[in-house]
Amino acid sequence: MNTIAGAIRAWIEGAIASAPDGHVPLLLLSGPQGSGKSTALAAAIGTMSQPVAGASIDDFYLTHSERMELARRISPLFMTRGPPGTHDLTLLAKTVSTLRAAIGETETLLPVFDKLKDDRAPVSDWRSVQGRPAAIVIEGWLMGALPDARSARDAPINPVEAEDRTGDWRRHQEIALAGPYGDLWDAADGFCHIVPPDFDCVLGWRLQQEAGLWAARGEVIPDERRDWVRRFIQYYERITRRMLAGRRRAGAEIFIDENRTVLRTSGN
């Protein structure tokens, strides 16, 4: 159990065991980009005897056209998906309700987001979950993040934030965290946070992931793609640092080192 997957499995099993009779717990798993949460969650679910529905909040992004409208109305920075405000939380809540209400072999469709096309995949390509699960786990980098309205007035911490000259991009994120995301956090039965030693690990992990994708094609990652990764994580930096500093909903914690080795756990 001294792996991320093992710790996640123990957390899920504990939540199922303590849930009231007939209740399907909604569990939210967080971890910075590249921390291994998606792979670990899939591995954990794959070894469990009870059926668990797992999904990523990434698959609940607003459609491309909806995000372009958000970018037009609020800030061009919202053309990049990921920050609070770019997810369809209404669809997520509806999906959770449908899973909880499933009877017998009823199939529930889970949305799929096509990251290459930067848009939601057609319904024909969505995943299906059969029956009523014992638990529902949604993973994402920001799950449980607390809002901080004052931070929207702070000085930029990176070049991406410096482009937000009106402050509208950051302000909208904080409003979203205090509103619909906070409602989702309130609806959860438990949280688990994968906690690395610092934010510097995130850049290293994302560069590893990207280099691996290029290596799979027999190519070396070009310098311009490295620069793209460095810019990309800046969209997530402020709130990721906030979560690493402990400003997140209380829950189980999995502390890992820069090699993604589990150092200790708490709250499982």
Q: Measure Cα distances from 131 to 46, 56, 111, 134, 142 in Å.
A: 16, 19, 17, 10, 28
Left if phi > 0, otherwise alpha if psi is -120 to 50, otherwise beta: which for 218?
A: left
Q: What is the pTM of this model?
A: 0.94
Give pLDDT, residue 138.
98
Euclidean distance between CA atoms 23 and 100, whole angstroms: 8
Give pLDDT, residue 209.
82
Give pLDDT, residue 1.
53
Give pLDDT, residue 214.
86
Q: Check the CA dihedral 57-53-3-38 and report its sign.
A: negative
Closest listed residue to residue 259, CA positions, set 210, 208, 221, 222: 208
Euclidean distance between CA atoms 53 and 27, whole angstroms: 10
What is the dihedral angle through the alpha carbons of 150, 153, 159, 163, rounded to the nearest 10 degrees? Answer: 130
Give pLDDT, residue 268.
64
Euclidean distance between CA atoms 134 and 86, whole angstroms: 29
Contact 265, 253 (CB under 8 A): yes
- Token digits of residue 233: 């994580």
pLDDT in tens, the chain (268 residues): 579 999 999 999 999 999 999 999 999 999 999 899 999 999 999 999 999 999 999 999 999 999 999 999 999 999 999 999 999 999 999 999 999 999 888 999 999 999 889 999 999 999 999 999 999 999 999 999 999 988 888 999 999 999 999 999 999 999 999 999 999 999 999 999 999 999 999 989 988 888 887 888 888 888 998 898 899 999 999 999 999 999 999 999 999 999 999 999 998 6
DSSP assigned state of 32: -
